[in-house]
Amino acid sequence: MANRWKSDLREDSVTDEAIYLNRRALLGGMAGVGFAGGAAAASEMEPNSWEEITGYNNFYEFGTGKEDPARHAADMTVSPWSVRIDGLVDRPADYAFEDILSKMVVEERIYRLRCVEAWSMVVPWMGSELADLLELAGVQSNARFVAFETLLRPAEMRGVSSPVLEWPYVEGLRLDEAMHPLTIMATGIYGRDIPNQNGAPLRLVVPWKYGFKSIKSIVRITLSESEPPTSWNKANPREYGFYSNVNPEVDHPRWSQAQERRIGGGLFSPKIPTEMFNGYGAEVAGLYEGMDLRRNF
């Protein structure tokens, strides 16, 4: 596939986490640091710790507190697991997770994660390009959008008893966004299997969009001609648009998006400026050429 970035790292060449945090020279070659011209220099991309990444996140199916997912997500059964791929594809089927892994090229990607709540992290993901998974199912020529659906299992997900959102959680991308080389399906962090609270066993990662677009614990992917509904847009379309690209020039109605707080720096650490498209503009700005990004927020 044109413009694809290939890593020389595979599942059998994972670096120990303690060593990982000090290997600055290797970070310079990672995709999250840059397809040409993208994101920050490697010196600005030191990943957050395992504890920060796995202990502070949003997964409302397990509660609305930042620590709730780490406390309660162990209740979720993640094996066996399959993903239904249907809609405008040549080979609709329930794809077993193990079968997906056996056919995908697993790479290491260090990406910024910017939450719509104005906090951020840097996460070392292991995963595969979403484009490869979609091509496995065979994308039909009239497909324009990709919809995603999270597991809904009330007996294991205490948070779904709350009407904070309409369940199951759903998200969507335009097909060109989904097929972009930066868009991955993550299966691990720091070379370990992705923890339940971070979206095990398979989650989307779209690094130039706010974090809620990167839907967790995916059980269904549907290709369609029309724009699919998304959970936060259904809940409050004034605050959460379909695109949800990181944009410091378009504030959330209740807070500024011009700056962010990096998790791990302390509650009173100085905020840092937020970059357009979360620093990935050189790679993805062309997807939105001619679009009014204030209207299509």
Average pLDDT over residues 105-134: 97
Least confident of 1-15, 75-89, 161-175: 1-15
Q: What's the pLDDT tens digit per position in 10-32?
A: 333 333 455 444 443 333 333 44
Q: What's the pLDDT tens digit per position in 193-229?
A: 999 999 999 999 999 999 999 999 999 999 999 999 9
The reply to whether the predicted model has a pTM over 0.85 is yes
pLDDT at 198: 98
Q: What's the pLDDT tens digit per position in 153-186?
A: 999 999 999 999 999 999 999 999 999 999 999 9
Would you say 284 and 277 are in contact if contact means Cβ atoms under 8 Å apart?
Answer: yes
Indicate the length of the chain as a whole number.
297
Domain ranges of the chain: 11-288
* Torsion region of 138: left, alpha or beta (phi above 0 gives left; psi -120 to 50 gives alpha): left
pLDDT at 269: 77
Confidence of residue 238 (pLDDT cuts 50, 70, 90): very high
Binding region for Mo-molybdopterin:
57, 60-61, 115, 150, 198, 203, 214-216
Partnered with residue 85 across adjacent β-strands are 93, 221
Spelled out in words, what is the top-level CATH class assigned to the domain 11-288? alpha beta
Backbone angles phi, psi at 118, to 5 degrees: 80, 30
Token pair 């997964």 is found at 59
- Average pLDDT across the chain, whole number: 88
pLDDT at 18: 55
Segment (H or E) for 282: helix 281-284
Distances (CA, A) of 79 to 76, 121, 201: 9, 28, 8
- Residue 272 predicted with pLDDT over 70: yes
- Residue 1 predicted with pLDDT over 50: no
Tokens representing 150? 């999270």
Partnered with residue 183 across adjacent β-strands are none
pLDDT at 45: 80
- Residue 230 predicted with pLDDT over 70: yes
More confident residue, 135 or 35: 135
Binding region:
57, 60-61, 115, 150, 198, 203, 214-216
